[in-house]
Amino acid sequence: MSPDAVACRHLDGEAWVDTTWRELRDETARVAGYWRRHGLRRGDRIAILAPTCRAWYVCELAGLRLGLVIVGIDHHQKPARIASILDESGATALVVGEIGQWWDIDAERRARFTLAMTMEDVGHDGVAGWQQVSRAERPPADEAARVAPDDSATLIYTSSTTGAAKAVEFTHAQLIQACGAIIRTYPQLNEGDAMVCWLPLAHMVQRMTNLFGMARGATTWFADDPRKVVATMAVARPSIICGVPRFYEKIAEKIGHRIEEMKGPRRRLVDAALETGRRMAQHRVHGQRPSIFLRMAHATLDRLVLSRFREALGGRLEVMVTGTAPAPAWVLEFFDQIGLLLLEVYGLSENAVPMSSNRADAYRFGSVGMPLPYNEIRIAPDGEILVRGPGVLDGYFEGANGHDDADPTRPRDQARFTDDGYLCTGDLGRYDEDGFLYLTGRKSEIIKTSTGRRISPARVEAIYGRSRLFDQVMVVGNGRKCLAALLALNQQAVERELMKSGHRIPGDPAAMAQSKDVAAIVHDELKRHETELADYERVIAYHLLEQPLSVEDGDLTPTLKLRRSRVEARLGDLIDAVYEREPDLPVAKGPEPEPTLAEVAA
């Protein structure tokens, strides 16, 4: 890799600005040198409170160079949570994205920091500006700290579904192991290829993706505005992209909407191309060789039609990766038929190495693939997923007051580990006959109906969530005689269904939630998807949400996982009303014997 090759690109106004590997090294050294001259030493904790941007990346590399412990804070967090993380982590330095975030912190906490800086060019009242720090005289090379493999590299505050976040501490060795495992899993990325950085850098996924890109010599393009990710992809032409399921769902919906607007011969040509793409995908899934006529038809229609869809996303994508929640089956299948692989991955906050992943040469839609290198994964008798490996945490960070820096071998949280050293993940799963892992729910979230049935809500939600009409599905029913659901509609998809049947389109989400025509469509859609479910797993009643569940309301974690207890507490009256509104709801059917968790997982 040449030091003069491009390491990253970022937008300055409307122009993309290059940074070479040499320039990145020098800038990182200057930032680390400035911090060292202002008192920061190996093992000190530095918090970064800022949106995703190139400066975040430089600060992380500078911290790792100096042996500091990086504490990423999601800038969308509530002020009370930010204050709590600053206190618990024991951070002695703080980097903010803009000066206003500094003044949002109370004066007593601000006084504790030995160093503060902003990513804005110019600082203010003792807060150093980016130009002052990053353009300082480069320090001698020997000022880089002598970092040991077992030194702490970062504190990751988990986006807990209960709201009680904990910090996981990872070492430099664990980050390197994780990077190696990712490289072996995704060999598609090569020197000079492009990647897009846009997910929150406060979380582990994007940071590991960036380190993976650096290890492979790829160029990282920073999309500071999440609304411009697709536009950035069209210019950057990445080989790999990471995102949450909703990101890919929106892309698929946009393409689908464009197709629906087409008329006449053009529409028939696109439909024919999609059909040949679907048939070719089916042959790939089943390991069958397509006929020569199908191969010829697909080659022609792919060149004329399908390649244009791929070109809109850069034209060089080999792998798209998604995690944090199940991707709808229709989204996986749609991308497959246009020639793009969307692969689901399973990660855990407590494990630096991603747990498992589908691969370009080995995938099963609906699964989370096979274990990554370094991970030993097994299924407990009750269906819980257990993992052992060098990337797994020893225990949660105890907080600045309870953490003994003199003792790097703190005892494990034994309640989370088996006697032979496997971490109990809390997730339920199963393997298929080919070794692909499937997630079936959370052990702590099993619903027990009043009839004694134990049901995994995640499994039920995943099946109903395959519908294009539902953006969100949350199943409730603990202690009730049957299941009900909170549904957030995909407004555009519902409007298209209404137009097809000649019904009037409601003017706003509130009117849509009250519409009898919409209710009929939703009822039919639920019926259409319940065929895979046992009688007792089916949703019998529902409520249409006027506003989707959100991170801002505390319903979702920053990684978009459901906080069930929070939602049930916040919307408890609404849930009660669902059951009271229909007092004659049938009792969930099923055999009397209560299944074990292992049976639920299967």
| The one-letter amino acid at 574 | L
Domain co-membership, 216 together with 291: no
Asked which of 382-386, 406-410, 442-446, 587-591 is least confident by mean pLDDT, the reply is 406-410
Higher pLDDT, 481 or 437: 437
pLDDT of residue 601: 39
Domain co-membership, 234 together with 253: no
CATH number at residue 583: 3.30.300.30
Domain co-membership, 27 together with 118: yes
CATH number at residue 162: 3.40.50.12780
Integer angstrom CA distances of residue 347 from 76, 119, 261, 305, 351: 22, 30, 38, 35, 7
Q: State how far the Cα of 41 lies from the Cα of 43, in Å rounded to an integer.
A: 6
Please check whether residue 427 lies inside any domain of the structure: no
Domain co-membership, 42 together with 183: yes
Please check whether residue 46 lies inside any domain of the structure: yes
Give the chain's largest Cα–Cα span.
78
Mean predicted confidence (pLDDT) in 323-327: 85
What is the band of 127 on the pLDDT scale with cuts at 50, 70, 90? very high
Name which of 143, 112, 601 is nearest 383 in CA terms.
601
Please check whether residue 392 lies inside any domain of the structure: no
Please check whether residue 286 lies inside any domain of the structure: yes
Please check whether residue 301 lies inside any domain of the structure: yes
The boundaries of the domain holding residue 302 are 244-340
Integer angstrom CA distances of residue 571 from 116, 485, 558, 565: 41, 12, 20, 10
Domain co-membership, 150 together with 200: yes
Kindly state the tokens that stand for 84: 């709590």
pLDDT tens digits along 89-123: 999 999 999 999 999 999 999 999 999 999 999 98
pLDDT tens digits along 524-552: 999 999 988 988 899 999 999 989 998 88
Mean predicted confidence (pLDDT) in 37-65: 96
Higher pLDDT, 391 or 441: 391
Domain co-membership, 325 together with 458: no
Domain boundary among 281, 313, 340: 340
Domain co-membership, 230 together with 308: no
pLDDT of residue 450: 82
**In whole numbers, what is the pLDDT of the chain averaged over residues?**
88
pLDDT tens digits along 416-447: 899 999 999 999 999 999 999 999 888 888 88
Decide: 206 and 195 in contact? Cβ < 8 Å. no
Kindly state the tokens that stand for 544: 């249409």
pLDDT of residue 140: 55
pLDDT tens digits along 284-308: 878 889 999 999 999 999 999 999 9
Domain co-membership, 195 together with 264: no
pLDDT tens digits along 170-209: 999 999 999 999 999 999 999 999 999 999 999 899 999 9
pLDDT of residue 567: 92
Task: Report CA torsion sign: 133, 139, 141, 142.
Answer: negative
Domain co-membership, 78 together with 121: yes
Please check whether residue 79 lies inside any domain of the structure: yes
pLDDT tens digits along 335-348: 999 999 999 999 99
pLDDT of residue 45: 97
Domain co-membership, 235 together with 252: no
Domain boundary among 220, 242, 264: 242
Domain co-membership, 26 together with 166: yes
Domain boundary among 242, 272, 294: 242
Please check whether residue 215 lies inside any domain of the structure: yes
Q: Which long-range contacts (CB under 8 A, 24 or more apart) does 177-181 make?
A: 177/352, 177/353, 177/374, 177/390, 177/391, 178/208, 178/352, 178/353, 178/354, 178/391, 179/208, 179/211, 179/212, 179/215, 180/373, 181/353, 181/354, 181/372, 181/373, 181/374, 181/375, 181/391
Q: State how far the Cα of 43 lies from the Cα of 151, in Å rounded to an integer.
A: 8
Mode of pairing for the β-strands spanning 319-322 and 539-544: unpaired
Number of domains forming the structure of the chain = 3
Higher pLDDT, 469 or 560: 469
Please check whether residue 229 lies inside any domain of the structure: yes
Decide: 145 and 42 in contact? Cβ < 8 Å. yes
pLDDT tens digits along 228-283: 999 999 999 999 999 988 899 899 989 988 998 899 999 999 999 999 999 999 89
Domain co-membership, 222 together with 272: no
